[in-house]
Amino acid sequence: MYGPYRMKRFRVKGIPGVETYLRLIGENSEGYVILITTINKAGIRESEEIISRHLFDACIRTGFLNECEEPAAACIA
């Protein structure tokens, strides 16, 4: 399950001032089930989404997603 990404967290390369993190929480026939945590001045927002394995692998290869530790603020949610 999850291939080499099991139990890992990733930071999304994105907009300055907004921290976005992704955690794999499941897997199904469509791809990975992910929990996206966004932290900005307005607070913390979480959403559950599905991402294809192909797109996830492409994001890792291109550096759009980088493995990281869970941010302290995300643990508050």
Residue range 19-67, pLDDT digits in tens: 999 998 888 898 999 999 999 889 999 999 999 999 999 999 999 999 9
Question: Does residue 75 sit within a domain?
Answer: no
Comparing 3 with 64, the larger pLDDT belongs to 64
* Number of independent structural domains in the chain: 1
Question: Does residue 28 sit within a domain?
Answer: yes
Q: Could you tell me the pLDDT band of residue 6, with boundaries at 50, 70 and 90?
A: low
Question: Does residue 42 sit within a domain?
Answer: yes
Query: Element (H or E) spanning 17, and its range?
Result: none
Question: Does residue 35 sit within a domain?
Answer: yes
Question: Does residue 65 sit within a domain?
Answer: yes
Query: Element (H or E) spanning 18, and its range?
Result: none
Range of the domain at 45: 3-70
Residue range 8-25: average pLDDT? 88
Question: Does residue 77 sit within a domain?
Answer: no
